[in-house]
């Protein structure tokens, strides 16, 4: 009886890909769900979102107008409450659009890949080298972030992409999962065919 149970377990594991691919499958499902949530949030709040990958994981960003102070472009304004002929300098408030890390959101928070899981990104058919994570990327005053993927206010994700999530250093024969937009324009994930 024990031998039959062991044989049945081995058969199930060989058909399902074994327990070793569970973290990769969970991660592709999570990323798929998060992209759906981000797309819905972009539509609901009429804002542009972005997704930036690095070797350790990924983070969602929101495109926001942020004030910048430009001392060279100050305006001279006459204050009617000052004696005639007096003026004061008023700093001109200018804004610029910047990608700001989404913080305080339970779903679109920064995420790390599970141990032993790696991610490969292709954009418009070309492989993209994801950067090593650095503190500079998180500090908007040091470096401006440019996401790898963009989510428009109408919920579209562009450019076309393909994400492959697999076990780290497992080789091409190991199970891996793909996340991409299908030819109907829908986001889908599937196991990569060997």
pLDDT at 138: 47
Assigned token pair, 141: 């005053």
CATH 3.40.190.10: does it fit domain 18-64+101-191? no
Q: Are 62 and 99 in contact (CB under 8 A)?
A: yes
Listed in sequence order, the residues at least 6 apart from 130 whose beta carbon sits closer than 8 Å to its beta carbon are: 53, 54, 55, 119, 121, 148
- 85 sits in the region (left: phi over 0; alpha: psi -120 to 50; else beta) called left
Contact (CB, 8 A) for 10 and 19: no
Whole-model pTM: value is 0.73
Report pLDDT digits (tens) over 39-94: 999 999 999 999 999 989 999 999 998 887 654 544 445 555 555 655 555 455 78
**pLDDT tens, residue by residue, 174-190:** 789 999 987 777 899 99
Residue ranges of domains in the chain: 18-64+101-191
Q: 3-class SS at 180?
A: strand
In the 8-state DSSP scheme, what is residue 69? E
């Amino acid at each position: 009886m024990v031998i039959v149970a062991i044989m049945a377990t081995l058969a199930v594991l060989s058909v399902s890909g074994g327990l070793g691919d569970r973290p990769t499958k969970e991660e592709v499902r999570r990323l798929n769900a998060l992209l759906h949530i981000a797309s819905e949030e972009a539509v609901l709040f009429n804002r542009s979102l972005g997704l930036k990958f690095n070797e350790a994981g990924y983070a969602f960003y929101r495109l926001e107008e942020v004030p910048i102070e430009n001392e060279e472009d100050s305006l001279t304004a006459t204050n009617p409450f000052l004696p005639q002929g007096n003026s004061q300098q008023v700093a001109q408030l200018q804004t610029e659009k910047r990608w700001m890390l989404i913080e305080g959101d339970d779903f679109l928070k920064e995420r790390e890949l599970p141990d032993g899981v790696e991610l490969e990104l292709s954009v418009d058919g070309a492989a993209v080298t994801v950067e090593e994570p650095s503190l500079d990327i998180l500090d908007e005053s040091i470096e401006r972030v440019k996401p790898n993927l963009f989510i428009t206010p109408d919920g579209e994700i562009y450019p076309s992409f393909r994400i492959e999530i697999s076990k780290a250093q497992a080789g091409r024969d190991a199970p891996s999962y793909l996340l991409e937009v299908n030819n109907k324009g829908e986001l889908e994930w599937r196991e990569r065919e060997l």
